[in-house]
Amino acid sequence: MTSDRYASYNWVGLGQRQLCWAHLKREFIKISERKGVAQQIGTDLLEEQKKLFALWYQVRDGTLSRCDFQLAVEPIRSSIKSILQETASYEIGSKENTPLAKTVRTCRMLLNVEPALWLFVSVVGVEPTNNAAERATISRSKSLAI
């Protein structure tokens, strides 16, 4: 199942759940638009996301094998995990509401579900985004409203 991070999906095990990279990209953009250290963290995460999707598009169009894709993703996964871990290690107050504190909390949450970022890399047929499902839901909602 590919989904956003909505809590109602938490019953699905991380080994069976793919977090939507379109939602993650939007989160990374939001972080990159913050001030200070958070801005660089967001920029770094976006750069890794861009590399990941350049490879994914090659898999999708048949110019990169799944095996080569999996190998090429390893340094990207490692880099993203490293960025998340480093950011999560920042000390913040429990009620702190700074741009950095918001970023630290997001990175800590993403580390808790990190395996669910990568299911599409190893499982054929799993998409990295839930865009198609969301479009189908919107289309179905519009047809029911008519």
Average pLDDT of the residues in 110-131: 88
Closest CA to 107 of 88, 82, 129, 134: 88
Pick the range with the lowest mean pLDDT from 10-19, 46-55, 130-139. Answer: 130-139
- Regarding predicted confidence, which is higher, 16 or 95? 95
Q: E strand or H helix at 14, and its extent?
A: none
The arithmetic mean of pLDDT across residues 5-21, rounded, is: 58
What is the mean pLDDT of the segment spanning 121-136? Answer: 72
The C-alpha angle 111, 58, 127, rounded to 5 degrees, equals 50
Residue 143, C-beta contacts closer than 8 angstroms, at least 6 positions apart: none
Residue 134 tokens read as 């969301």
Q: What is the mean pLDDT of the chain?
A: 84
Residue 117 in this model has a pLDDT that exceeds 80: yes
Q: How confident is the model at residue 76 (pLDDT cuts 50, 70, 90)?
A: very high
Measure Cα distances from 139 to 100, 133, 134 in Å: 38, 10, 9
**Is pLDDT above 60 for 1?**
no
29, pLDDT greater than 80: yes
Query: Which of the two residues, 11 and 88, has the higher pLDDT score?
Result: 88
Please report which confidence band the pLDDT of residue 49 belongs to, taking 50, 70 and 90 as the band edges: very high
How far apart are alpha carbons 82 and 48 in whole angstroms? 11
79: left (phi over 0), alpha (psi -120 to 50) or beta: alpha
Per-residue confidence band for 78, with pLDDT thresholds at 50, 70 and 90: very high
CB 103 within 8 A of CB 96: no
pLDDT category at 45 given cuts 50, 70, 90 is: very high
Domain ranges of the chain: 2-145
